[in-house]
DNA sequence: GTTTTGGTATAACGACCGTTACACTAGGGG
DNA sequence: CCCCTAGTGTAACGGTCGTTATACCAAAAC
């Protein structure tokens, strides 16, 4: 415990902070190493490749987010509050971790070419894994909250979740988490105040 | 007007497509020029700098989006539909323009360092301009739709707007526009739920 | 006391990037 | 005619990037 205080973790911390505050492509490996107080060679001994470093950063981040969200759910009282806990978790997770601009996974997706190697690229697989995780958990929590249509509620909450994250990047609206909670309460009402029964407008495809 | 078929526009088209499909930093100027069928020197004669090219791409995009949104609003019938038209405009605007991953302004913000030169950087100014434009228009449309609190409605719709855009990047939920419309209808309930009169069209359509 | 482990410093490589200089061509208008 | 405009091709510049090779060092392990 006393020797090198987790060199690997320090590199991951520095990479996470720089990648998602300044941008991945614009951040050189040398800057990551310097920020971690580590030689470039050490970084390559540990991760071998910048892309692999990014991969491990995202994997660690996904696990941390999962754990953090779980704790927020456990702290909540009612099933409804457990469903809404995702929004508070976003806020506290950002406060607990570094100053990232917004969602690391969406930032990675936005910066990356979206080519044909979608299936084989492990980074894109991480992003899909994040989406899958959020969707499944929201569906489960909506089901436990006795929502009429858990899948529909989950997809609406996922849209609000996306809106909160993009709102953090845009800097607007102010306090997107509180706004999302307000809207979410309208959405998850078990007995929906149906204004009209027509499900939705026609859409292509 | 008749000689070279709008060389400048072709460069802007190519830059917009490549920047926001593959990423800005990862797209070299040579690839933009090649995609436009233009020599690199010509590109630099027109724009002088990659950053300046990005600036003009964003400026043009902002103007096109404004016009497109306006037309969608004009096509809508009721004041409520005029307020909701923003979501349909997103979909048709994407269909009309190139295959961008998602919002060009947010993609630029995500990829860029968010440093201290925030006030002087014209690119960040474009991004803020986009946010200002969307916010003000939503507020005005909410006011015209006789919403009780137009500012609150506008900020909620901005969150949904952000959610749609990020949803396009994430690829989930499916059909975020339809989802956002469903949620928006719950949000924009006017002071009284009376929809007594069918809207009068000010012009033929 | 040598080997192993984990880290460091320096330097270089090939590739690509944004940018510019130079010399050239084709067309249009005075 | 000459000049101006708009665009082309080639080639290079300085810089940065991701990555690797080489040699070195300290402490722990056997």
The pLDDT score that the predictor gives to residue A119 is 76
**Nucleotide with C1' nearest the B47 CA:** C19
Backbone phi, psi, residue B6, to 5°: 60, 65
Pick A166's closest partner by Cβ from B26, B165, B189: B165
pLDDT exceeds 80 at position A127: yes
Q: What percent of chain A has pLDDT over 90?
A: 84
CB contact under 8 A, B25 and A111: yes
| Closest by Cβ to A159, choosing from B155, B156, B179 | B179
Work out the minimum CA distance from A96 to partner chain B, whole angstroms.
20
Contact B156, B187 (CB under 8 A): yes
Collapsing DSSP to helix, strand or coil, B28 comes out as coil
Buried-exposed string A64-88: b where 16+ CB fall within 10 A, e elsewhere? ebeebbeebbeebeebbebbbbbbb
Residue A98: the pLDDT is: 84
3-class SS at B167?
Answer: helix
Task: Give Cβ neighbours of residue B25 (< 8 Å, ≥ 6 apart).
Answer: A23, A25, A26, A111, B111
Q: Which domains does chain B have, with CATH numbers?
A: 1-48 (1.10.10.60), 49-201 (1.10.357.10)
Q: Which residues in chain B are contacts of A172 at CB distance < 8 A?
A: 131, 135, 155, 158
Q: A17, A25, A5: which is closest to A101 by C-alpha?
A: A17
Residue B4 has what pLDDT? 54
* Amino acid B69: pLDDT: 98
| Percent with pLDDT over 70 in chain B | 88
Cβ–Cβ under 8 Å, residues B105 and B120: no
Residue A117: per-residue pLDDT: 63
Dist. CA A82–CA B146, nearest whole Å: 35
pLDDT of residue A192: 47
Span A34-48, mean pLDDT? 97
- List pLDDT tens digits, range B162-196: 999 999 999 999 999 999 999 999 999 755 444 44
**Residue A40, CA: closest nucleotide via C1'?**
C8
Residue nearest D26 (alpha carbon to C1'): A3
Distance from CA of A1 to the nearest CA of B (A): 35
Task: Specify the higher pLDDT residue, A199 or A10.
Answer: A10
Q: How many C-alpha atoms does B44 have within 13 Å on its Cβ side?
A: 6
Q: What is the pLDDT of residues A154-188, one digit of tens each?
A: 999 999 999 999 999 999 999 999 999 999 999 99
Which of B81, B116, B119, B159 to probe the A interface (max A CBs under 10 A)?
A: B159
Residues 48-77 of B with CB under 7 A from strand D: none
B41 pLDDT more than 50? yes
The pair of structure tokens assigned to A110 is 């936005």
Q: What is the pLDDT of residue A19?
A: 98
Provide, in whole angstroms, the distance separating residue A40's CA from nucleotide D20's C1': 11
pLDDT for residue B82 is more than 80: yes
pLDDT digits (tens, 9 = 90+) for B102-120: 999 999 999 998 766 667 8
Does position B151 have pLDDT exceeding 90, yes or no? yes
Q: What Å distances lie between residue A58 and A3, A52, A61, A116, A126, CA to CA? A: 27, 10, 5, 21, 7
- Peptide bond preceding A154: is omega within 30 degrees of 0, i.e. cis? no
Distance from CA of B148 to the nearest CA of A (A): 16
Residue B145, Cβ neighbours under 10 Å: how many?
A: 18
The Cα A109–Cα A103 span in angstroms is 10
In SS3 terms, A122-180 reads as HHHHHHHHHHHHHHHHHHHHHHHCCCCCHHHHHHHHHHHHHHHHHHHHHCCCCCHHHHH
Q: Is the CB of B30 under 7 A from strand C?
A: yes
User: What does each C-alpha distance from B156 to A153, B36, B58, B119, B152 come to in angstroms?
Assistant: 18, 40, 25, 26, 6
* pLDDT at residue B197 is higher than 60: no
Residue B40: CB less than 7 A from any atom in strand D: yes
pLDDT tens-digit readout, A80-103: 999 999 999 999 999 999 889 999
Q: Is B10 within 7 A of strand D by CB distance?
A: no
Residue whose C-alpha is closest to residue A12's, from A32, A28, A27: A32
So what's the pLDDT on residue A68? 98
- Cβ-Cβ contacts under 8 Å for A199 (sequence gap 6 or more): none
d(CA A102, CA B78): 36
Per-residue pLDDT, B202: 46
What pLDDT sits at residue A5? 65
Q: Is residue A202 very low, low, confident or very high in pLDDT (cuts 50, 70, 90)?
A: very low
Contact B170/A114, CB-based, under 8 Å? no
Tell me if the pTM is above 0.85: yes
Size of chain A, expressed as the number of residues it contains: 205
Residue A193 pLDDT class (50, 70, 90 cuts): very low
State the Cα–Cα distance between residues A155 and B144, nearest whole angstrom: 30
Q: Do A159 and B156 touch (CB under 8 A)?
A: no
Strand D closer than 7 A to residue B39 Cβ? yes
Chain D nucleotides covered by protein, CB below 7 Å: 6-11, 16-23, 28
Check residue B115 and give its pLDDT: 62
Q: What confidence tens digit (pLDDT) does each residue in B119-140 have?
A: 789 999 999 999 999 999 999 9
Instruction: Give the minimum alpha-carbon distance from A9 to chain B in angstroms, rounded to a whole number.
Output: 23
Task: For residue range B65-77, list pLDDT tens digits in order.
Answer: 999 999 999 999 9
| CB B108 within 8 Å of CB B173 | no
CB contact under 8 A, B179 and A155: yes
């Amino acid at each position: 415990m006393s020797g090198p205080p987790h060199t690997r973790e320090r590199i991951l911390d520095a990479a996470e902070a720089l990648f998602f505050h300044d941008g991945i492509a614009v951040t050189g490996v040398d800057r990551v190493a310097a920020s971690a107080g580590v030689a470039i060679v050490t970084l390559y001994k540990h991760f071998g490749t910048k892309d692999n470093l990014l991969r491990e950063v995202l994997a660690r981040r996904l696990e941390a987010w999962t754990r953090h969200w779980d704790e927020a759910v456990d702290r909540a009282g009612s099933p409804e509050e457990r469903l809404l806990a995702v929004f508070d978790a976003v806020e506290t997770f950002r406060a607990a971790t570094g100053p990232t601009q917004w969602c690391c996974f969406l930032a990675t997706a936005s910066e990356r070419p979206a080519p044909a190697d979608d299936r084989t690229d492990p980074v894109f697989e991480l992003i899909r894994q994040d989406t899958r995780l959020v969707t499944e958990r929201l569906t489960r929590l909506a089901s436990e909250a006795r929502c009429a249509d858990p899948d529909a509620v989950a997809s609406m909450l996922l849209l609000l979740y996306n809106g909160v994250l993009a709102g953090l990047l845009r800097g607007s609206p102010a306090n997107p988490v509180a706004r999302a909670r307000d809207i979410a309460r309208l959405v998850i009402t078990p007995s929906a105040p149906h204004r009209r029964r027509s499900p939705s407008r026609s859409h292509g495809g």
